Amino acid sequence: MSLRDTTTSMAPVNTSDLIERLDRILPQTQCGQCGYVGCRPYAKAMANGEAGPDRCPPGGDAGARALATVLGVTPVPYDRSRGEHKPYQVALIIEDDCIGCTKCIQACPVDAIIGGPKFMHTVLDDPCTGCELCVPACPVDCIIMVPAP
Ligand code: SF4
Ligand code: SF4
Ligand code: SF4
């Protein structure tokens, strides 16, 4: 079933306050699993009645419930077809294998990777949201996900 089909009873409400409230609930992983380019665009879509509260795997069922409460719609579990709800994790670059291609930097939505062309790259744990977008971008498979410190 498409997610849009689950939202037909939701009354469209479009206020910046509602967007803010929804955005604050979202994990800010910026992973795109919801089908939007980031958390805020998803919050806007919900506020506009274009998306339901079940599209965010990083938020899990608790997040979906919280979003539904703010939207005033019936809570539903998050849609498992969009991805797995995982414990908070961060990316780690196996630095000895890094060829300095910069592809991971281009894939990272939050500028959590530092390094220059042909130099070893490193992930900064603090800004890394664990979105995993850098992992498939690496041509030598030297980025792994590890539990957050
Ligand atoms: S799936 Fe959730 S965490 Fe990922 S971008 Fe969408 S709202 Fe943000
Ligand atoms: S370093 Fe990788 S996992 Fe971390 S935020 Fe950037 S793209 Fe996402
Ligand atoms: S994509 Fe992989 S090889 Fe390229 S800079 Fe990033 S970690 Fe290094």
Q: Name the more confident of 7 and 26.
A: 26
Taking residues 60-65, what's their average pLDDT?
98
**pLDDT score, position 7:** 43
Residue 54 DSSP label: T
pLDDT in tens, 76-89: 999 999 999 999 99
**CB under 6 Å to ligand 3: residues?**
93, 98-104, 115, 121, 137-138, 140, 142-143
If you measure from the C-alpha of residue 102 to the centroid of ligand 2, how many angstroms do you get, rounded to a whole number? Answer: 13
Q: Is the C-beta atom of 43 inside 6 A of ligand 2? A: no
pLDDT of 128 above 50: yes
CB atoms within 10 A of CB 87: 7
Residue 128 contacts residue 90 (beta carbons within 8 Å) = yes
Across 10-124, the runs of DSSP E, i.e. the strands, are 89-93, 113-114, 122-123
- For ligand 3, atom 2, the nearest C-alpha belongs to 138
**pLDDT score, position 13:** 55
If you measure from the C-alpha of residue 21 to the centroid of ligand 1, how many angstroms do you get, rounded to a whole number? Answer: 15
Could you give the 3-state DSSP secondary structure of residue 145?
A: strand
Confidence band (pLDDT; 50, 70, 90) for 3? very low
Under 8 Å CB-to-CB from 66, ≥6 apart: which residues?
Answer: 25, 59
Farthest CA pair distance, the chain: 53
Domains of the chain: 3-82 (1.10.15.40), 89-147 (3.30.70.20)
Taking residues 101-128, what's their average pLDDT?
94
Residue 19 contacts residue 44 (beta carbons within 8 Å) = yes
Residue 118 contacts residue 73 (beta carbons within 8 Å) = no
pLDDT of 98 above 70: yes
